[in-house]
Amino acid sequence: MTAAIWLIIIVGALAILQSKYYAKVSFRHLHYERKLSRKAVFEGETLELQEIIANRKLTPLPWLRVESKLSPWLRFRSQENLEIMDDRFHRSVFYLRPYSRITRRYSVKCIRRGYYDLSITTLTAGDLFGLNSVSQEAHSDAKLFVYPSLLGEDQLPDEALRWQGDVSVRRWIFPDPILINGIRGYQIGDSRKDIHWRASARTGTLQVKTHDYTVFPRLLLVFNIDPEDNFWGQLTAQQMEEMEYGIRTVATLCNWAIVNGMEVGLYSNASISYAPDVPIDIEPACNAAQMNHILETLAGLKFKEHESIYRTMEKLVENDTSETDILVFSTFWNASLDSRAQELRRKGNSVTHITLRKEAIHFEETVDAADAV
């Protein structure tokens, strides 16, 4: 047997041995971590994604491929060592020396609202000659909420602006003890706490303070994801855009309400991507935690029915909701929805229907037939 043949045999044997060796030790003492600079952003905002890999052993890794499937709504800026395939699969390759650590940073623009689970990554390592490779999954806590963007005043439908401006003269108003707008003579039934003692002493007769009025500080938004009654198909692109516009409008009105000291809640017949078995029935409250809860829910809202819109409305009736301004966002309105709205009015609520349209949401207040002119 010639020396050349022996050399081929030895090299082949060494190649096989090193291939088996790397298959055995590649993931030993290998640490991978994925971090996000922010856990929540609004649509259109940019964040930083970090990949940190540490090889904590003497053996170098000739190559390590990191792959993950990400949404096309998360746009990566073109960067060195990052391969993006059809806007869904993201791949980066590393060479790791002994006891080395590499950190890479990527700029990511968040295009569309959603809940994005970025926690699962596939790591693939191989030998010097690429004869063999091994893979395993790496897990992190990289989960991201992309909130719907808040609309500017010029982006809201005129009728929504009218609702905001008209809120102080709507049906559910009561005297605000802080807002004093004058003094008048005492009448039977007036509260003693409203007596203006200085004015009474000055005039010689009892005088009471009169108050300005403010809206009852409770708002509930109901969002219907069905574009029509008994809908079972897939949303068209236009219908999805109308829904997205409606979600942004809901987020904007919720934010406006809380900023102005109103309790606000959210009901919907939709499901939530990160909690599919949990109904969307957030009772009104007024604090920062409530706004975050609503924004996270809207981020995770899926166009998949959790229950019928009729059941959603029935729950409001069953819960004895009262003294609440209810805005129902729905692309359709029929007798069944109207009958539930009438029940809610009889319990002391104001119910307004907003028809979703992308370009200009049509806003109309449903009224009792007896009240119609």
pLDDT single digits (tens) 141-181 = 999 999 999 998 777 666 666 666 666 444 344 454 444 55
CA distance 366 to 82: 54
E strand segments, 167-254:
173-185, 207-215, 218-223
pTM exceeds 0.85, yes or no: no
CA distance 254 to 217: 12
Q: Which of 63-72, 151-160, 199-208 has the lowest mean pLDDT?
A: 151-160
**Top CATH class, 153-171+216-371:** alpha beta
Q: Which of 11-20, 252-261, 272-281 has the lowest mean pLDDT?
A: 11-20
Residue ranges in the chain assigned as alpha helix (H): 3-25, 158-166, 197-203, 237-259, 288-300, 309-318, 335-346
Cβ atoms of 329 and 246 within 8 Å: the answer is: yes
Reported confidence tier of residue 360, pLDDT bands at 50, 70, 90: very low
Residue 38, CB-side half-sphere exposure with 13 Å CA sphere: 14
Reported confidence tier of residue 194, pLDDT bands at 50, 70, 90: confident
- In this prediction, residue 373 carries a pLDDT of 24
Query: What is the per-residue pLDDT across 225-258, written as a single tens digit (0 to 9) for each?
Result: 998 887 777 888 888 998 999 999 999 999 988 9
Structural domain 26-147, CATH architecture:
Sandwich (2.60)
Q: Is the pLDDT of residue 301 over 90?
A: yes
Residue of 90 and 303 predicted with greater confidence: 303
- Domain positions in the chain are 26-147, 153-171+216-371, 174-214
